[in-house]
Structure 1
Amino acid sequence: MVSISKSAETALHTPNTSGPSLVTTTCPYCGVGCGVEVTLDESRQLSVLQGSSDHPANFGRLCVKGSKLLETNSINGRLLSPMVHGEPSDWQTATQTVADKFKQVIAEHGPESVAFYVSGQLLTEDYYVANKLMKGYIGSANIDTNSRLCMSSAVAAYKRAFGADAVPCCYEDLEVTELLILVGSNAAWTHPVLFQRMERAKKLNPDMRVITIDPRKTATSELADSHLPIKPGTDVALFNGLIQYLSQNSGLDQKYIDSVTQGFDVVLDECKQWTLDLVAQTCDIDKALVENFYHLFCETEKVVTAYCMGVNQSTSGTDKANSIINCHLASGKVGKVGSGPFSLTGQPNAMGGREVGGLANMLACHMDIDNPEHRQTVQTYWQSPTIASKVGLKAVDMFDDIETGKVKAVWIMATNPMVSMPNREKIAKALKKCEMVVVSDCVDKNDTLSFADVALPATGWSEKDGTVTNSERRISRQRGIMPASGQAKHDWQIICDVAKAMGFEQGFDFNHPREIFDEYVGLTQADNNGKRDLDLSGLAGLSARAYDGLKPIQWPVNQSAPEGTKRLFTNDKFYTPSGKANFLKTVFTPPEQVTTNDYPFVLNSGRLRDQWHTMTRTGKASALTSHFSRPFLAMHPKDADAMALKEHDLVNLTAGHLSHEQSDICLPLVLDDKQRKGELFAPIHWSTTNSASSNITGLYTDANDKISGQPELKHAAVALTKVDYPLQGKIFVKQSLAVELLREKFAYFVTTPVEQGTLIYFGTEHSEAEVKLWLQINLPLYDEWVSVTGGDVASTFAMREGLLSLCLFMGKEHLDVDTGWISSLLAGGLVDGEQMHGLLNNQPDEQFKQGKLICSCFKVGENTIIDAIQKGCDSVDKLGNALKCGTNCGSCKSELSQLVNQHKGLLAANPNTDPAIEDMIIPVEEII
């Protein structure tokens, strides 16, 4: 019998008509897959959110993004009705329009002329029916997913080595290992809850060692005993060198190699050239760092190597992952407690999508398109009219074929390729040319929706109902708590409606996601008999009640493992034809996008701590935009000095493949000595919906891994030049201003929500007078305007019916104006004489002189933290006791650690701790 979680059972037995109730669901962000408990009040509104204490992924912890889910769950910005050619429509018309066009294109040009581009934001049930429609009914494999951009190299490497897309580890391994190696992963920001588990494990076991391998010294490196700042793209050289070191220092498990693997001799022969000296030279790091890393790996029994986008997003991403797997196979560190190669999934359901065939080169349930027996199994089970017989178009190739006209109709679901795909200019040309672009999404505006011929409103988190699978193969329920907003439908319903309108009634007559899940489970056991890793036969035939209350569980789930499976390959049996694991020869090849004299800098990209993808959800919450309120470009101070640049200067970036029209990507500079010289970093999240020129993916070419098809989104060759706008400034305004209006006036702008309105950063060729006049024209209801000129800052304030509603600050350079201070004044509305004096002189109250925000949960700024450190709070725990920072979601702990390390030396120089520190201490009971 399938067990039901306690909180889910409570919800199942709570009447829907009165009294508060508790529902357990799953966070919609990263691949950690945290359980979330939501309380519905008497009026059936979401009122309280907290982490699920009994969910094995997070045990009650939530990061700052997860903890602010309710603040992002408003109906504001939602797509609420179908749109056809830009006009509101009804579901019958919109569905028939899509079905008719797809049928026409297929009839005239064949099934390869249509494509689906889907998303790791979909639930497994959504993914399943999309895959079924395309591969089993349309008869093409032209369905790919944005998981191609994050996990496909890891998938290809697992399949090559183990015969299946089988992640061998579980989260517990990260806690019981003796050596944790994090490669190309800033887990402190991208997987914060998982990182907290790592931190706790190291605290409980001081003998545990942590090594980070990354060109940047990130927040994650604060946990590390050693950091290897390797040259970007040299991972294969580093791990090939490790194989050579193991062979020379009694580090090989020869018995394991001989009995359960094959192909090692070829790998060893390739790796013999990689001496310590050559590795250090190629990776551009100190030889002693390399030797220490190799020694620890060789001498430590339990080793986990966890890796993420820094490995995967590369033209050699698959080889990078296989070089890591090779080292674990060579030392026998696979399938054992606390050991293994562990890819950390980027999206909440990237793995669920892989399970049901969401990638163009696979069939559902880990079966292969190029395997006739697998094709027969799937078609027979589906009783479908056809089955895809060749690999479909991967993401980059798909948009190539859209651009050339081979693909004439595309359906994009729950993703924003105009922002996330490389070579934005080409994506725009492709979508503009395409005969039919259909977009299903829960938002009414993003960069891709502007190209939609048909826009279909989909449900979002708290409405969606189904399952997701996290990084450790754990299936969890994402439950529908609220009714759909407006006319929105679940993605699986939309797909089934279109399928039936195309004439495929038989295969898509589902009434509930449980029915789809049950069909999917049945396919995992079809013709399996232990031949395939993905087996959910133990979940077959779930009742509606059992499905609704399904407890998180790791696959395989079958007769042998009815409670799920923590680790794979514990029996040394793999899913290759021979049953042995494969070593793969990996050859070091440098990144494809090489620097030149004209484009001398390497651009790296990544995520920020408090943001997610293209900000359609996290961008709504002022609490999540306060850590970094606008995009930036990080640069080593010595590089900046060489170019006569300083902090906050605006710079334009360009790359060789861009046309003149697409070359104006403008970002403010941040100086960071944790960068390697000659290298830059910028976040991925901003787009034209909230900025003039901040989407950096256009700087990357189509360069991609020839095996996995994953684009190289960590290594672009770029040039930069300083931009001198005569006027820069900030506008704090209660009333929103349309992006289109901002674009007309400001060459550079970024908008971000603040607690009482919107903050707009801008740079312009216009004069102060022209900017003020433009605001007065576009805000006609603001009835009183006060301006102050003279000095370095010109200020303008506007009232509406006596209440402060706008603050404008302008000058020749970047202006430091405290956002919290202005928000508090806007919230108060009425401004007294002292406050107005402060405004006129840009002098905030003392309480707002905190500096850069570090702790989003408790609004604790950098200056406050530094002051506490200098008064005696010389550890993260002491800072938490004094200021609460780091005691809620924990996402800021790495930055707190950085500040402690930077400033505790001042305390040591002055051992007479300020007695005022005692007054800062807050009892732990109050924090809890």
Structure 2
Amino acid sequence: MNRQTTASTCCYCGVGCGVLIEHDGERIFGVSGDPAHPANFGKLCSKGSTLHLTGDLAARALYPELRLGKNLARSRTDWDTALEHAANVFAETIAEHGPDSVAFYISGQLLTEDYYAFNKLARALVGTNNIDSNSRLCMSSAVVGYKRSLGADAPPCSYEDLELSDCVMIVGSNMAYAHPVLFRRLEEAKSRRPQMKVIVIDPRRTDTCDLADLHLAILPGTDVALFHGILHLLLWEDWIDREFIKAHTEGLAELKSLVRDYTPQMVSQLCGISVEQLQQCAEWVGTSPSFLSLWCMGLNQSTAGSAKNSALINLHLATGQIGRPGAGPFSLTGQPNAMGGRETGSLSNLLPGHRDAANPEHRAEVAAYWGVDRLPENTGLSAIELFEQVRNGKIKALWIACTNPAQSMPDQHSVRAALEACPFVVLQEAFRTTETAAFADLLLPAASWGEKEGSVTNSERRISHVRKAILPPGEARPDWAITVDFAQRLEKRLRPAESSLFKFDQPWQLFDEFIELTRGRDLDMSGISHALLDQIGPQQWPFPTGARQGTVRLYEDGVFPTANGRAQFIAEPYRAAKEQRDARFPLTLITGRLRDQWHGMSRTGTAAQLFGHVSEAVLSLHPDELRRQRLQPGDLVNLKSRRGAVIVAVGSDDGVRPGQAFLPMHWGDRFLKGGVNSLTLSAFDPLSKQPELKHSGVRLEPVNLPWQLFALIEGDVQRHFETLRPLCEAFSYVSLSLVGRERSALLIRAASSEAPNPQLLGAIDQCLSLIDGPVLAYDDPRRAIGKRVRIENGRITAIRLAGETLAQHWLQSLWLEGRADEQLRRWLLAPMSAPPGSVGGQVAVDKTLCNCRNVSFNAVCAGIRQGLDLQGLKNNLGCGTQCGSCVPEIKRLLAAELQPVAVI
């Protein structure tokens, strides 16, 4: 084989890691970190290091599909027919209802060139500002915070500041899971400089807290009160930089008047922390030579997200901790190119080059550059507003690209109703298996990671050249090429006598046109090109014409891009989250991330290895809460909010406070019937319009689902998923996941109040290949219990337990081990249900603790019992030696000397 290596970037979070793709021009065989890339210096997390295992072709969209009626199925078509049909529908809709009757909802995972093409299409050709991105759900509150306080949407720091800081505050981010490569960098810095102080502010005790010198487990949503309380103490103790405040800021007098009332006692009560903790935090912030803050969704996804961001930035302005090494407010971007979207204007209120759509001068500048008379004045719809207008019938044609709103948006009942009602939905997507795909009238296959070229900007403003390694599969095309092709067809209908606005044949042409809109702006990229990035490597903006290297740190001169050059203190009072606990909904549901999954799992959900650490959705409750609710780990409950309900298993977690519940945000309807976001609310911040995905009022209701199903089948998991998932709709509870490493299998757990009809069970057995062939079966119709196992070449290939599932973990272990012994045969052909050697009907089941080296939880525990310390475990087992994501959990096991326990 002609093995080649292509340098590119990872397609997950905003760290922007460089990767080396091993391929032969047609297939990708492996991936490793790029030692030359300054974002990661060769390191990768568990998700990035398994990129080559994702993107199963069976899950990919490979050719255009068109549906000519809502009650009809889509059928395969060609690109000309697909795009001509789309152009006709959009042109007719615009002619009859106006340009604001159509909308575009795009993604933080697109490349900068893709973004630019969509923005020019929407604003210059269609004439609408109805273009928004799923970055609205991710970073829009940070955008408002930076713009209001500092004058521009520009994170001022660099990754090297993590190593240089004397006091690092991590707020609303489980950095160990969400940005693992940066967290490893911070860990290493603290190991070299133990005097560095790390403060973690998070309602839960997460893996990130293991690095903390101080963990403030504040009550959800009380961040503004906390920051005002810290500032109160900074002012009281005179831990402020008076010279910096006088020379470079304004607005402190009003803020000082506001925070006077945020006394330590008041803040202690509001936030649920001790006065001593608050005082210690303020002292470290106020007296450390350098102070750096890092934050993510815990601050942003809130009805007070903008206020939280500005209140945190206030602390930096008061202490002069900005524009210096190791100091500054530093938002951690959630998606690989959410920054690129902000640069190109891919939120409904923005224009390219950090311009505002509401600003007449900005509109005139962009219109003149594009060669059109004017840009639309009407305010564009943000994500929540957009789907409301789709549901109300105002938006009649919706183009969705590279995102999955039928999983990621809050209040899923309303979002799905909107998609169902919309006369024409286009989905431009690499994966045909997403929840949104079912609603698409036109599915356009897009190129994915490793298959397209362009650029991305990471959290530290660093632009990287994304290089293509292989051709897209089937008929898939790069996103920019799809958009340009559609735009060229649409402009023949909307402006036939005019010259084309879309004379693009290569992605570099889009980039070169875009960067001219940044010339002279705060993000000036006019000196950058794809060719330059190839010559000198990834660079940080600003990088104006003539520059030799990027700008490492902003505002070093204390001059800010505001009208008078001064940063602004923002005075906004603390306002509680929209939904508070009450008698009807006595629990607060908070959401967050898993270590090895990403977003809606359209990509990570195709790799069985990434389910090894956490295999299915579990609602985490404090042990006291479990006792109060009279629940055991593994019990099913009906989790209800004011918008919807989902049945889910519960688990014990003393990192969650009593009165709170935690559920990972990844589980959509594909993997958990109903999905997590059937519970969340669409209330949003009035300025950023970012929804409050983190905070919902919920209650637990008992469920009686005595009839249970467990099924496992190896092989073509995506095909099995497609045939079995619809059959599972008949059950009240459904959870699907993948298991295995060298061999993959689909695993299903389901439950119902009574046994299903025999025809349904027969259809499931048919899909599981458990009707004919080498199948061992035992049925007890009187008790509605049955068990079937297919054994081929001495090992299990499929399993179905019906009625009760006591042996599920034992059978799963046998499948993983690739054996089928006499014990199995005796158990199968006997009426007993519990597996051999079980205690109380249960058998301990292992989980993968270290994904990179396939080291199990029980193996680590066994090593601890043998006296191994962390270094010994690394040397003997290899765990923690690659991405390091498992290290915090291993440290906890070492500290507690835990024994293996059943994982339910």
TM-score scaled by structure 1?
A: 0.90
- Aligned residue number for residue 891 of structure 2: 897
Letter in 2 for 1:318: S
Report the CA distance shift for 1:767/1:451 in structure 2 as closer, same or farther (over 3 A): closer
Report the CA distance shift for 1:37/1:158 in structure 2 as closer, same or farther (over 3 A): same
Q: Map 1:543-692 to 2 at 5 A.
A: 545-546=531-532, 551-559=537-545, 561-656=547-642, 658=643, 663-692=644-673
Matching of residue 170 in structure 1 with residue 158 in structure 2: yes
How far 1:878 sits from its partner (Å)? 2.7
Q: Distance in 2 between matches of 1:895 and 1:670?
A: 17
Report the CA distance shift for 1:234/1:814 in structure 2 as closer, same or farther (over 3 A): farther
| Conserved? CA contact 2:710–2:805, under 8 Å | no
Q: Distance in 2 between matches of 1:564 and 1:64?
A: 30
| Conserved? CA contact 1:783–1:800, under 8 Å | no
| Conserved? CA contact 2:225–2:270, under 8 Å | yes
Q: Map 1:58-457 to 2 at 5 A.
A: 58-85=40-67, 86-457=74-445
- Aligned residue number for residue 38 of structure 2: 56
Q: Distance in 1 between matches of 2:210 and 2:805?
A: 33
- Aligned residue number for residue 775 of structure 2: 785
Instruction: Give CA deviations for 1:713-751 in whole Å, capped at 9, x if unaligned.
Output: 111011111222112342121262524443244322222
How far 1:764 sits from its partner (Å)? 2.5
How far 1:348 sits from its partner (Å)? 0.5
- Aligned residue number for residue 860 of structure 1: 855
- Aligned residue number for residue 539 of structure 1: 528
- Aligned residue number for residue 798 of structure 1: 790
Report the CA distance shift for 1:280/1:468 in structure 2 as closer, same or farther (over 3 A): same
SS at match of 1:612: coil
Q: Distance in 2 between matches of 1:627 and 1:905?
A: 17
- Aligned residue number for residue 753 of structure 1: 738
How far 1:388 sits from its partner (Å)? 2.4
| Conserved? CA contact 2:397–2:424, under 8 Å | yes
How far 1:836 sits from its partner (Å)? 4.6
Letter in 2 for 1:521: I
Report the CA distance shift for 1:367/1:768 in structure 2 as closer, same or farther (over 3 A): closer
Q: Distance in 1 between matches of 2:854 and 2:702?
A: 33
Q: Distance in 2 between matches of 1:476 and 1:814?
A: 51
Report the CA distance shift for 1:278/1:560 in structure 2 as closer, same or farther (over 3 A): farther
| Conserved? CA contact 1:362–1:391, under 8 Å | no
Q: Distance in 2 between matches of 1:718 and 1:89?
A: 45
- Aligned residue number for residue 506 of structure 1: 500
Letter in 1 for 2:16: G
| Conserved? CA contact 1:185–1:308, under 8 Å | yes
- Aligned residue number for residue 4 of structure 2: 21
Matching of residue 887 in structure 1 with residue 881 in structure 2: yes
Matching of residue 700 in structure 1 with residue 680 in structure 2: yes
Q: Distance in 2 between matches of 1:599 and 1:745?
A: 28
Report the CA distance shift for 1:733/1:673 in structure 2 as closer, same or farther (over 3 A): same
Letter in 2 for 1:293: C
Q: Distance in 2 between matches of 1:850 and 1:881?
A: 25
| Conserved? CA contact 1:817–1:842, under 8 Å | no
Matching of residue 712 in structure 1 with residue 692 in structure 2: yes
Instruction: Give CA deviations for 1:380-422 in whole Å, capped at 9, x if unaligned.
Output: 1111343122431011111111111111111010001111111
Q: 1:734 aligns with which of 709, 714, 722?
A: 714
SS at match of 1:448: helix
Q: Distance in 2 between matches of 1:781 and 1:838?
A: 19
| Conserved? CA contact 2:64–2:78, under 8 Å | yes
Q: Distance in 1 between matches of 2:837 and 2:464?
A: 47
Q: Distance in 1 between matches of 2:137 and 2:638?
A: 26
* Structure 2 residue ranges without an equivalent (≥5): 68-73, 493-498
Q: Distance in 1 between matches of 2:192 and 2:791?
A: 56
Letter in 1 for 2:307: D
SS at match of 2:307: helix
Q: Distance in 2 between matches of 1:292 and 1:905?
A: 35
Letter in 2 for 1:562: R
SS at match of 2:433: coil
- Aligned residue number for residue 14 of structure 1: none
How far 1:579 sits from its partner (Å)? 0.8
Q: Distance in 1 between matches of 2:785 and 2:265?
A: 55
Letter in 2 for 1:80: L
| Conserved? CA contact 2:711–2:801, under 8 Å | yes
Instruction: Give CA deviations for 1:492-523 in whole Å, capped at 9, x if unaligned.
Output: 11111111111266111101101111111111
Q: 2:815 aligns with which of 818, 823, 827?
A: 823
Letter in 1 for 2:776: V
Matching of residue 723 in structure 1 with residue 703 in structure 2: yes
Q: Distance in 2 between matches of 1:620 and 1:115?
A: 30
Report the CA distance shift for 1:637/1:792 in structure 2 as closer, same or farther (over 3 A): farther
Identity in percent: 39
Letter in 2 for 1:897: K
| Conserved? CA contact 1:651–1:721, under 8 Å | yes
